[in-house]
Amino acid sequence: MPVSPRRHLRRIARRVRAMLPFAAEPEVSDGDAAAGADRRAWEPPFDASSPAPPMSYPITGLAALASRAYLSAEANFHLPFNRASVPAPASPLPQRRRVLVCHDMEGGYRNDAAPQGGDKPDAYALWHWHLVDVFVYFSHYLVTLPPPCWINAAHLHGVKVLGTFIAEWDEGVKICKEMLATKASAQMYAERLTELAHTLGFDGWLINIEVNLDVHFIDNLKEFVKHLTMTMHDAVPGSLVIWWYDAITVNGDLDWQDKLNKYNKPFFDVCDGLFSNYTWKENDPQDSATVAGDRKYDVYMGIDVFGRNTFGGGQWTTNVALDLLKKVDISAAIFAPGWVYETKQPPDFQRAQNQVMVIRYPLKGCKSPMIHGTIFLAKVFSFKAEPYSGGNCLTVKGSLQQNIIFSEQLFNGGLAMEDGPVHLFYSIRANASSALGLSLDLSSRNKQGTSKILVAEDIATFTRKKQNHKYGSYVKADKVELHAPDNHGWVLYKATVSSSAGHTLTGINIVCTLKFTGEISPESEDVDGTSLYQASLGHLSIRNTDKNTEFPPAESWITEGDYISWSKCSNGSELVNLKISWKLKNPDQPQPPFSKYNIYVEKLTADSDLKVPSPKSYLGVASVDAFYVSGLEVSNEVTGLKFFIQAFAHDGSWQELEECPKFFLFPVHSE
């Protein structure tokens, strides 16, 4: 596909470096200093077998793909850290028009290439998963493997994730000639791609063959696509192979068609979909739908958010193309939504992305329907407060009037309820004067009306306010666990709401008010007094069971330390690197489905009292059963290191640190 001049120069620089001997450092002259500055960590002389902070990276050559080196634990130290931990949605895509989002962010593998977390709080992210059916992680390397953070986030919201296989430019011609030399070679490379997706836990491939080829290679190209589709469907239920995009034709010509037609349909017929080039004209979507027939939803019409010759102009008018596709009733493929981030669109990334993703979101304050348009909070939503459990949180902060309830919708949808109780678990951190609750919007399926249920710990605080009539009923939430110092003030709540099969949950709202500090009656009209409000919502889950998560006791785990190395600091201290891993002792016991593990360390000294817990330092979060500790400084007074592996369940509960599995390590100077 067409690329910007800057990316074109970077791509040429990468190809020049790739042609150098594996162990040779490229010489950097003044003329290519800029390209050298963009050198990626996996480029020569990278050794994937050496212990290092875990990294996600692509496969850049056919030989590496054929060798299976990426999937070898001996050859690839980073392998266990790159496996997804959230299962894929096995169901097929819905029979309706769909939205595919194709990530293309600064060449790929930026801050998201660190499976244990990056160091950039304002890194690019996507949070509109409810609008997306398929997510593609894209770069211009031969085999683009999605980092696990994207796979886990997408799977958590039922979105399928595809990697990318791309052959382009002169090097792409050589790759295709080798890959498609025989039917057997075409099938072998297809099987290597299937193995990667199955092992790492993503859902398929987006294939981009963007070269001119002799026509005698076309049959084997179709065999490659067909065999990849077949093996993916066998290995990963619900998987996809999308032919991206309509660059090469059945005649072997690099000739973008901008739609589905007879020149690219033979590829479409042996896979799960087609991603059209984004320079299509007004009639092309309808032409594509006609050619596709019953499979029109498998045609994804490309839209470039950067606006490079795209219908409607892209950027802030991306909706023009989307509106046309909605009218035609055909699927959309949104390419490079990172335009908002890369071009620093005002007023800031979060609000600009909300706008470009076609979300109703206020740009100046927040107006609640409950308070008739008056803005009571000077600054409403923030995602930059101290995070919940190593992740993120939603903070409501600003000036709020004493007798007012502020509410804003968090989710809207249509979740069919069943007879019986529904259990809500949520985590809150708030200052002493701020109360935070949740309200549920329920509608009757027989059109008999709607109702609101308010869930909160201190019901009286809300019922005494003048707007309490907005709620039909109240449910008290109880603390599940009191906050401890290592949980940074977060409190987990649980509430049980009665439901019936005749209702649909249409919305979940955050509800905020101030706790009373004086005598203010619900009838009082004096709401001039304001106070500072600040509260954060860390997580919310809805379950149909109230059974508490049972965490295996510490003695049921095996913890191990590998790749341990020590080095001296200039100040006399030592630095330690090691990989910690854990598993259950009973091999027949299934691994618990925990959402993540927080890793802490306690530095023991000769004066430490093993019966009294000492301060612990947070090291990071693991989504798999391993964690790499890099460059941990150990002073001479330290006689031992005690690492804690704290499991977190999907309902938001966690294991107390003293009950967690542990790993002990003794510094070399203490042995």
Last residue within a domain, chosen from 522, 543, 564: 543
- Asked whether residue 548 is domain-assigned, the answer is no
Same domain, 291 and 168: yes
- Asked whether residue 195 is domain-assigned, the answer is yes
pLDDT tens readout for residues 499-511: 888 889 999 999 9
Dihedral pair phi/psi, residue 306, rounded to 5°: -65, -20
Window from 40-49, 228-237, 243-252 with minimum mean pLDDT:
243-252
Same domain, 579 and 507: no
Residue 446's domain comprises: 369-543
- Asked whether residue 622 is domain-assigned, the answer is yes
Same domain, 506 and 600: no
pLDDT tens readout for residues 595-649: 899 999 999 998 877 666 678 999 999 999 999 999 999 999 999 999 999 999 8
- Asked whether residue 651 is domain-assigned, the answer is yes
Whether the CB-CB separation of 380 and 496 falls below 8 Å is answered with no
Q: What is the mean pLDDT of residues 46-58?
A: 97
Q: What is the mean pLDDT of residues 14-42?
A: 46
CA distances from 353 to 337, 361, 382, 494 (A): 8, 10, 14, 33
Q: What is the mean pLDDT of residues 139-146?
A: 98
Phi-psi map region of 601: left, alpha, beta (phi>0 left; psi -120 to 50 alpha): beta
Same domain, 511 and 563: no
| Residue 264 per-residue DSSP state | T
Last residue within a domain, chosen from 511, 543, 575: 543
| Geometric angle at alpha carbon 438, from 437 and 439, rounded to 5° | 130
pLDDT confidence of residue 481: 63
- Asked whether residue 363 is domain-assigned, the answer is no
Same domain, 498 and 560: no
Window from 143-147, 248-252, 414-418 with minimum mean pLDDT:
414-418
User: Is pLDDT above 80 for 12?
Assistant: no
| Geometric angle at alpha carbon 348, from 346 and 350, rounded to 5° | 125
Phi-psi map region of 504: left, alpha, beta (phi>0 left; psi -120 to 50 alpha): beta
Q: What is the mean pLDDT of residues 230-241?
A: 96
pLDDT confidence of residue 35: 42
Same domain, 60 and 155: yes
pLDDT interval class at 364 (50, 70, 90): very low
pLDDT tens readout for residues 126-136: 988 888 999 99
Same domain, 334 and 373: no
Same domain, 282 and 318: yes
Tell me the CATH number at 536: 2.60.120.260
- Asked whether residue 563 is domain-assigned, the answer is yes
pLDDT confidence of residue 420: 87
Specify which residues 510 forms β-bridges with: 408, 438
Count up the domains in the chain and report the number: 4
The C-alpha torsion from 338 through 341 and 342 to 346, rounded to 10°, is: 130
Same domain, 501 and 597: no
Window from 248-252, 338-342, 374-378, 547-551 with minimum mean pLDDT:
374-378
Tell me the CATH number at 571: 2.60.40.10
- Asked whether residue 549 is domain-assigned, the answer is no
Last residue within a domain, chosen from 330, 356, 382: 356
How far apart are alpha carbons 628 and 423 in whole angstroms? 36
Tell me the CATH number at 240: 3.20.20.80
pTM, rounded to two decimals: 0.82
Whether the CB-CB separation of 224 and 259 falls below 8 Å is answered with no
- Asked whether residue 361 is domain-assigned, the answer is no
Same domain, 225 and 246: yes
Same domain, 431 and 563: no
Same domain, 509 and 493: yes
